[in-house]
Structure 1
Amino acid sequence: MADEVTVRPPSIRDVARLAGVSHQTVSRVLNDHPSIRPETRARVLEVMGELKYRPNRAARTLASSRSQTIGILSASSTQYGPAASIAAIEAAARERGHWVSTANIDAHDPESITAGIAHLSAQSVEGLVIIAPQTRVFRALESQRIDVPYVTLQSELRGREHHLSVDQIAGARLATRHLIELGHRDIYHLAGPQDWIEAEARMRGFLDEMDAHDLPMTAPILGDWTAEFGYYAGRELLRVRDFTAVFASNDQMALGLLHAIRDEGLSVPRDLSIVGFDDIPESAHFWPPLTTVRQDFPELGRRCVELLLDGASPTTETTIVPTLVVRASTGAVART
């Protein structure tokens, strides 16, 4: 019987008794109440550590009417951009004493979107982040009622309320301008899938920059974000080889292109230059190391959590401008 008693986890009253305070005082410490004296707070925290006390989050939520949780509705957490955004939001939320609950939905299924919102609402999330790269998801969301502050992380929604994003168009223009400044005139664009907001924005940035320099354009090639497709597209393009550079809409497709070019016996950047987008951790270790566009995901996460928790309204400064990281995959156009 004695063994059964020792198994019981410590309670808030155990902490109060050993710290010599009331259980209400312990509760105030847990909720970071400003009326608690520093020495009292320190003593209570010390006892919590000694007892290895873990507060009951459900009870704290009921007592404070705050869940200290941010919800994320994600339609593509497997791709680098959405996954990096989720990680950045989680890190920023932890710094503010909050947790993150993620509901992964099927972008092709409107009922999945409804269920995802209901799932997060049942957890009494204090705010919601919508990371849905496909336009069809936002069309489905228009019919949903969202009763908490929310932020969408998509560039196409610029100028609308609740919007925050990395400026994909500006990033694509940086990549394209870099190639033009190196003397390239015949540049192809390997785009992402149709219906993806980022893919559309990066394509638009490429076309805008080419048009600004009055350069001839060919129709962008629609890919699927994978290195396999990049390899396939590269093999097909090299049959004619009427270009000197390619701007790939993500680093994985750029990796496939590098492979195809190498298999053809050509050299990057001596024969062809390649630029990617995202600056995934591996891009610095491609051969050659990849010139690419870097998105500031930590800053995106910080601003997102700030908007949700501080009750601020998005201002005109709702986009984060990416930067170009120049490595060895780009060089001056070969002179004939």
Structure 2
Amino acid sequence: MAQVAERAGVSHQTVSRVLNDASLVKEETRLRVLAAIEELGYRRNFAARLLATNRSRRIGMVTAHLALHGPSMIALAVQEAGYREGYDVALVGLPEFSPQALQNAVDRLSDQAVEAIVVAVAHREAAEMTRSLQLSIPVVMVEGVTGAAPLAAGIDQEAGALLAVDHLLDLGHRHVAHVSGPKDWVEASQRSAGWRRAHEQRGWLPGPELDGDWSPASGYRAGQLIAADPDVTAVFAGNDSMALGLLKALHERGRRVPEDVSVVGFDDLPDAAFYWPALTTVAQDFSELGRRALSLALQALRNEPEPKVDLIEPTLVVRGSTSERGRPPAASTSPGEGGQPASG
């Protein structure tokens, strides 16, 4: 830093002001300091900054199953939100969840002097464990939450399932089948609850529920059983990947989609519009989720009163995999055609 100051012909304090985006520095001086930084290849010393300011400007994040769409998009959203707020996000990814793995990740981040921790692990036990963590820094949850949870930002999974199943019931289908995610995932349970509630609100019995594990292979196995049941005319898949396997099984068994069986997924994967037929699904606003998580963490760091945070409402995207019961779709949908968002 002293070398930068000498090269730019300014004081050490002026270099510090430039690095911290202070408004008191003249533009000509700021440009001269930035040029010296570029010439010398200067990088700020994290340990020195921490000692000088007692602020790391770093947020920790723990997540699991980054190979899946939802967890990976949440991690990206939090990192982008942190960058916009001037914070680094130190990410610890867990290949598989266990209580000890989560505790080790929290300890590891605490050793890095993070100012807050975001936990995005959707397992039921992880949610319970996160609420019981005894830390001197804020801990924000972004998966497996309800509207009443403190320091939590989430997407209303049950409301998204209601959108999906109500869409099918409005098209004249009865007893909609469901391919669920793993039972130990809070989101899977919430989506199953929405599937059941959609039927209960109309006084109808739901169709069969088959267990999946978020993978296309599990959707394919469930689809083989569904294809053999002529009474099933509509299916709500717990995510788009399982819907992909389901579509393959139905096609192989000669059950046309959507003429014989309508299918709705969840997540709105980038590939969903390119399934055949293009998949009707539920979209989640992960960018807004990341912004809310960072906002909650920063408000807690400023000791501001905790705001009431409503769950983010998902949206239904209607494409070619659904139609009225017993009728062909109004118009064919080619792969890659976008869908239309629909309100509940």
Tell me, yes or no, if structure 1 residue 328 matches structure 2 residue 320: yes
Answer with 309-318 or 251-260: which moved more. Answer: 309-318
Shift of 1:38: 3.9
Partner residue, 1:218: 207
Backbone CA RMSD of aligned residues: 1.9
Q: Residue 58 of structure 1: CA displacement?
A: 2.5
- State the TM-score, normalizing by the size of structure 1: 0.91
Match of 2:64? Answer: 75
Deviates more, 1:287-296 or 1:311-320: 311-320
Q: Is the 8 A contact 1:192 1:199 kept in 2?
A: yes
Q: Any idea what SS the aligned residue of 2:33 has?
A: helix
- Is residue 127–residue 144 contact of structure 2 (8 Å, CA) maintained in 1? no
Report the residue type matching 1:319 in the other structure.
Answer: L
Aligned residue for 1:274, secondary structure, equals strand
Aligned residue in 1 for 2:283: 294
Alignment check: 8 A CA contact 1:277 1:293 kept: yes
Q: Which moved more, 1:202-211 or 1:26-35?
A: 26-35
> Which of 127, 146, 163 is the matching residue for 1:138?
127
Could you tell me which amino acid in structure 1 is paired with residue 318 of structure 2? V
The within-5 A match list for 1:104-115 is 104-105=93-94, 108-115=97-104
Deviation of the 1:306 alpha carbon? 1.6
Aligned-residue offset at 1:266: 2.4
- Amino-acid identity (%): 42
Q: Deviations over 1:170-227 (max 9, x none)?
A: 1000001111111111310111111110001111111111111222223522211110
Aligned residue type for 2:323 = G
Distance 1:128 1:227, change over 3 A: same
- After TM superposition, the structure 1 stretch with the greater mean CA deviation from structure 2, 273-282 or 16-25, is 16-25
Checking the alignment, whether the CA contact within 8 Å between 2:180 and 2:192 is kept in structure 1 is yes
Distance 2:264 2:21 in 1: 49
What amino acid is aligned across from residue 50 of structure 2 in structure 1?
A: T
For the 8 Å contact 2:161–2:194, the answer to whether it is kept is yes
* Secondary structure, aligned partner of 2:61: strand
Alignment of 1:116-131 (within 5 A): 116-131=105-120
Aligned partner of 1:317 in structure 2 is: 309
Cα distance in 2, alignment partners of residues 214 and 111 from structure 1: 44
Contact in 1 for aligned 2:159/2:194 (Cα 8 Å): yes
Question: Which moved further from structure 2: 309-318 or 154-163?
Answer: 309-318
Give distance in 2, aligned partners of 1:280 and 1:18: 51
Shift of 1:314: 4.6
Structure-2 separation of matches of 1:209 and 1:155: 21
The CA distance in 1 between the partners of 2:237 and 2:62, in whole Å, is: 27
TM-score normalized by the length of structure 2: 0.89
Assess if the C-alpha contact under 8 Å between 1:152 and 1:162 holds in 2: yes
Specify the alignment match of 1:27 in structure 2: 16
CA shift, 1:107, in A, is: 5.7
Paired residue type of 1:292: T
* 2:203 match: secondary structure: coil
Write the distance in 2 (CA, Å) between the matches of 1:282 and 1:146: 40
1:262 aligns with 251
Partner of 1:201: 190
- What corresponds to 2:31 in structure 1? 42
For 1:96 and 1:197, locate their aligned partners in 2 and report how far apart those are by CA, in whole Å: 29
For residues 103-132 of structure 1, what are the alpha-carbon distances to aligned partners after superposition, in whole Å with 9 as ceiling and x for unaligned?
224665322222111100111111111111
Q: Secondary structure at the match of 1:84?
A: helix
Return the match for 1:178 from 167, 188, 207.
Answer: 167
**Structure 2 unmatched ranges of 5 or more:** 329-344
* Distance in structure 2 (CA, Å) of the matches to 1:120 and 1:217: 45
Deviation for aligned residue 1:32: 2.9
**Which residue of structure 1 aligns with residue 267 of structure 2?**
278
- Shift in Å at residue 155 of structure 1? 4.6
State the match for 2:157 in structure 1.
168
Contact 1:107 1:136 in 2 (8 A): no
Shift of 1:59: 2.0
Is residue 71–residue 126 contact of structure 1 (8 Å, CA) maintained in 2? yes
AA at the equivalent of 2:177: Y
Of stretches 246-255 and 130-139 in structure 1, the one that deviates more from structure 2 is 130-139
Whichever residue aligns with residue 223 of structure 1, its letter is G
Q: Does 1:57 align with 2:57?
A: no
